[in-house]
Structure 1
Amino acid sequence: MRHFSPSFRVWHWLNAIAMFGLFITVVLRESVMHKANIGSIVQTKMAELGTIITDEQAVMIGKAVRSPMWDWHIYLGIAVAVLLVARLAMVFKNGFGFDDNAAMQKVYRLYKAVYVLLAVMSISGLALYLKLAGDAKESIETVHQYVGWALFAFIAVHIVGVVLAEKSDQSGLVSRMINGK
């Protein structure tokens, strides 16, 4: 049975919180907090008050309204980047800590791929935030979005895997990830 070090458990849960927050900001941005949705509401309410604003002005207001929420996306993205660097430092110091169990090697390869995706997402996000993308901005945004959705899909698969493990001979995984026992 695999033992999880305290540092790994803290890293895992901090990363989980940050990724959950990122997911929420993306879903909100693409749905109820979409600039066009907010702009439309503002435009309608302003018209009811007798003030007409253009579609462009409404979208500009929509962006301003959701800006504080998007700031959280940036903060959480930076947290994920810092956590990834911390995890890589743990790996260089202690190794990945994966069992030699042949049946688990495919799972562990998937986790290594996730670290690569986290790196791509962090680097692309930082490039966009620091405005280093230049002419490649749209391409980098696309990569960032696809990698983000791939990571969210991994998280869903990860949660299903944990539930299945709890119902198998690997039960106790959640307890070991929380308290180490």
Structure 2
Amino acid sequence: MEQSYSRIYRILHWTIAITFILIIITIFLRNTWLSKDNLAGIVENYFKDTDRPLSKDQSIALAKQIRAPMWQWHIYLGYVLIGLFWSRFIFTVLRKIRIQNPFNKTLSTKEKFQKWSFVVFYICVAISLFTGIFMENGPKEFKGLLKEIHVLSLYYLIPYIALHIGGILMAEFTNPKGIVSRMINGGSK
């Protein structure tokens, strides 16, 4: 029997997915075109032929100010993600969304793998959200350690997204077909 997805589940799924994509974009921009060194180089180059050249330190300070609003979006999106994950948890407790139970003995190996990958994903997301919120609002003496752990988040997120999309494609070309359309319209009840 093909699985159906409730409206609440689908809305949360797609909102979480979009939020993660936007968070990844902020990380990508911060580490590439909007990196402080890249921006500082552009600013330095621009001002070098003027009567007010900037030092490397001044250029980096200006670069940080230029990219600060974009990075603020990363923080806002983190708060949105916290709300979405709390909503997911609350709807699971209220039984509006089914829990992924990897201990069900009737599951195939493939299904257990899928369920366990969701469990690991949610644990990793909880760690990312915890470290992010405490970097912003917690004691400053732990900020360095929390930042190191938080930065490592990217190393689970990208492979998980690739695994998730690969699993969806595999399902679409084998069985159960139609998972994408069921995630959009809900499927049979």
TM range (shorter): over 0.9
- Paired residue for 1:121? 128
Structure 2 gaps of 5+ residues are none
| Structure 2 Cα separation of the partners of residues 90 and 108 of structure 1 | 18
User: Deviations 1:133-162 (Å, cap 9, x if unpaired)?
Assistant: 422212111111112331222011101111
SS at match of 1:2: coil
Q: Is the 8 A contact 2:39 2:60 kept in 1?
A: yes
More helix by share: 1
Task: Please state if 1:154 is matched with 2:160.
Answer: yes
- Paired residue for 1:69? 70
Distance apart, 1:47 and its partner CA: 1.1
| Structure 2 Cα separation of the partners of residues 148 and 87 of structure 1 | 22
| Structure 1 Cα separation of the partners of residues 122 and 139 of structure 2 | 22
CA 1:154–1:14: 2 relative to 1, 3 Å: same
Distance apart, 1:29 and its partner CA: 0.2
| Structure 2 Cα separation of the partners of residues 55 and 30 of structure 1 | 19
Distance apart, 1:111 and its partner CA: 0.1
Q: Which amino acid is 1:6 matched to?
A: R
Q: Which amino acid is 1:91 matched to?
A: T
Aligned-pair RMSD on alpha carbons? 1.4
SS at match of 2:4: coil
TM-score by length of 2: 0.90
Task: Please state if 1:13 is matched with 2:14.
Answer: yes
- Paired residue for 1:52? 53
| Structure 1 Cα separation of the partners of residues 122 and 136 of structure 2 | 21
- Paired residue for 1:96? 99
Percent identity between matched residues is 27
| Structure 2 Cα separation of the partners of residues 60 and 38 of structure 1 | 10
TM-score by length of 1: 0.94
Distance apart, 1:169 and its partner CA: 1.6
Q: Is the 8 A contact 1:166 1:173 kept in 2?
A: yes
Q: Is the 8 A contact 1:25 1:70 kept in 2?
A: yes
Q: Is the 8 A contact 1:121 1:148 kept in 2?
A: no
Whose RCO is larger (CA < 8 A, sep 6+)?
Answer: 2
| Structure 2 Cα separation of the partners of residues 18 and 48 of structure 1 | 42
